[in-house]
Amino acid sequence: MIDFWFNLPPLLQMVLKGLAVIAVVFPIAGASSLAERKVSAWMQGRPGPSRALPFWFAWVPVVGPILQRLGVFHLMSDGLKMLFKEDALPGHVNKPYFILAPILAVAPAFTTVAVVPFGGFLDPAGQVVPLMLANVDVGILAVFAVASLGVYSLIIAGWSSNSKYPFLGGVRASAQLISYELSLTLAVLPVFLWVNAPGTDGTLSLAKVVEFQSGSWQGLTAASWGGVWFVFLMPVSAIVFLVALFAETNRLPFDMAEGEADLVGGFHTEYGAFKWSLFFVAEYSHMLVGSAVFTLLFFGGWNPFPWVPLATLVGWLHQLTGAAWTVHPLFVGLLSIAVFLVKLLFMIFVFMWVRWTVPRFRYDQVMKLGWQKLLPLAIGNLIVYALAIAWLQTR
């Protein structure tokens, strides 16, 4: 099967990978919207969406009521509504850019998925090989560079609407994203300074960060520190990165671009139907990618526990059961994906938890937090770890 894949033309491989990303991200984004409504209902003591039940499924005795209570049919109805709802195009908008904005919103989110590793398998030498669509050595740089293009969709959507409220939403979004990108980038620099010790092959790969947290990548003093998750080694970096991530994904309490209380509907006031849904697919996709990057950088990626890498867990399972399938690449790959998904779902829950717990900030509070609090903290954190790393290198 692997030989068959590599024998395909490169262009066909790219098309199949793109279709795979769309086939995975769109359902996950829809499921995230359903999960958010369920989480908010659970936090507020409500049942959540549980009314929709198609007539052709109502006769099923057990499965039908269970799916109805879970709200699965609400997810289906939302998707069908967005596809078949009248997609009106206001006459006062700048039509080419108005149509282009939703496409620009989802394109960066779909592109960054390709460079994010989501698991690994053991090769014949016993080394963990990452599972990802595009194994590039500048993974984190590619994520930041492409994800930052998403702000253009908000600016273009607000400007092309030719309306005051959407325009203000686009201006707010651009100021907010530019402000918090500085802290976001500075927060990850200590991680890569620590991983890329002198004498090692310099890398910006997310997979190499996961390898260091498993103890197999020989970074700075790997014999002493390899295997520890960076959330314990660099807690300030993790906190700064997480707060900046909330702002970069336009999630509450940082959704300045779509504040209903003062902007009616924000930058997407003039949008409806499928174009409107693309903006929210992009938001959930950015939340998905951001949660995945945070998991890879600070939560050990697909390593199940601190100081217990994936290869060690597989060895324990093999010794315990003695079964050959425990070291099969397919089983190891599925196990790594399962571990990664558990951490990813936890991070997505944190996003939803914060949204329904913390009230929306004022615009001046958002700017003050970004420039006067978070940025100095990120700079100080970088200086402290740069000095610590320099001191450890002289030992």
Residue 219 amino acid letter: G
Q: Is residue 51 one of the residues assigned to a domain?
A: no
Residue 204 amino acid letter: L
Q: Is residue 33 one of the residues assigned to a domain?
A: no
Residue that wins the pLDDT comparison between 340 and 28: 340
Segment 353-368, tens digit of pLDDT: 998 888 888 888 889 9
Of 107, 130, 112, 105, the C-alpha closest to 120 is 130
User: So what's the pLDDT on residue 298?
Assistant: 94
Q: Is residue 24 one of the residues assigned to a domain?
A: no
Segment 112-143, tens digit of pLDDT: 888 888 888 777 766 777 888 777 778 888 88
Q: Which two tokens stand for residue 50?
A: 């549980």
Which pLDDT band, with edges at 50, 70 and 90, does 296 fall under? Answer: very high
Segment 45-92, tens digit of pLDDT: 888 888 888 877 777 788 888 888 888 888 888 888 888 887 788 888
Q: How far is CA 169 from CA 28, 184, 213, 259, in A?
A: 27, 22, 40, 8
Confirm whether pTM is higher than 0.95. Answer: no
Segment 237-289, tens digit of pLDDT: 999 999 999 988 888 888 877 766 666 667 778 888 888 888 888 888 889 99
Which residues, 6+ apart, have CB-to-CB distance to 350 below 8 Å? none
SS3 of residue 357 by DSSP: coil
**CA–CA distance, 299 with 345 (Å, rounded to integer):** 12
Structural domain count, the chain: 1
Q: Which two tokens stand for residue 6?
A: 């590599």
Which residues, 6+ apart, have CB-to-CB distance to 338 below 8 Å? none
Is pLDDT at 327 greater than 60 in this prediction?
yes
Q: Is residue 128 one of the residues assigned to a domain?
A: yes
Question: Which bin fits 215, alpha (ψ -120 to 50), beta or left (φ > 0)?
Answer: left
Which pLDDT band, with edges at 50, 70 and 90, does 223 fall under? Answer: very low
**CA–CA distance, 310 with 288 (Å, rounded to integer):** 23
Of 136, 294, 317, the C-alpha closest to 229 is 294
SS3 of residue 305 by DSSP: strand
User: So what's the pLDDT on residue 391?
Assistant: 82
**CA–CA distance, 349 with 354 (Å, rounded to integer):** 9
Q: Which two tokens stand for residue 233?
A: 């080694």
Identify the domain containing residue 209 by its residue range: 92-393
Give the burial class of 126: count Cβ atoms within 10 A of its Cβ; 0-12 exposed, 13-18 middle, 19 or more buried.
Answer: exposed
Instruction: Give the pLDDT mean for 333-355.
Output: 91
Q: How far is CA 279 from CA 45, 140, 213, 273, in A?
A: 29, 24, 35, 11
Q: Is residue 212 one of the residues assigned to a domain?
A: yes
Of 61, 134, 87, 394, the C-alpha closest to 271 is 87
User: So what's the pLDDT on residue 221?
Assistant: 46
Computed over every residue of the chain, the mean pLDDT equals 83
Q: What's the CA angle centered on 238, arms 236 and 243, to 5 degrees?
A: 95
Q: Is residue 344 one of the residues assigned to a domain?
A: yes
Please report the beta strands in the chain, taking only residues with DSSP state E, as ranges in sequence order.
119-122, 128-131
Backbone angles phi, psi at 301, to 5 degrees: 60, -125
Which pLDDT band, with edges at 50, 70 and 90, does 382 fall under? Answer: very high
Q: Is residue 227 one of the residues assigned to a domain?
A: yes
Q: Is residue 6 one of the residues assigned to a domain?
A: no
